[in-house]
Amino acid sequence: MSSHFTQEIAATAARLVVEEGLEYGPAKRRAAKQLGVTGRAELPDNDSVEDAVREYLSVFCADTQPAELAALRRLAVTWMKRLAEFRPHLTGAVWRGTATRLNDIHLQLYCDDSKSAEIQLINLNLPYEVGAVPGPRGTEVDRLSLTIPCQELGEPIGLHLTILDLDDLRGALKANSRGQAERGDLAAVEALLAD
The radius of gyration of the chain's CA atoms, rounded to the nearest angstrom, is: 17
Per-residue confidence (pLDDT) for residue 170, from 0 to 100: 76
Per-residue confidence (pLDDT) for residue 40, from 0 to 100: 66
Answer with the residue of higher pLDDT: 147 or 178.
147
pLDDT at 1 over 60: no
- Among the listed ranges 21-30, 33-42, 47-56, 186-195, which one has the minimum average pLDDT value? 33-42
Q: What is the DSSP letter of 154?
A: T
Residue 2 binned pLDDT confidence (cut-offs 50, 70, 90)? low
Q: What is the largest CA-CA distance in the chain?
A: 54
Mean pLDDT of the chain: 91
Question: Taking the CB of residue 57, how many other CB atoms lie within 10 A of it?
Answer: 21
Q: State the average pLDDT over residues 163-186.
A: 81
CA dihedral over 151, 96, 166, 169, signed as positive or negative: negative
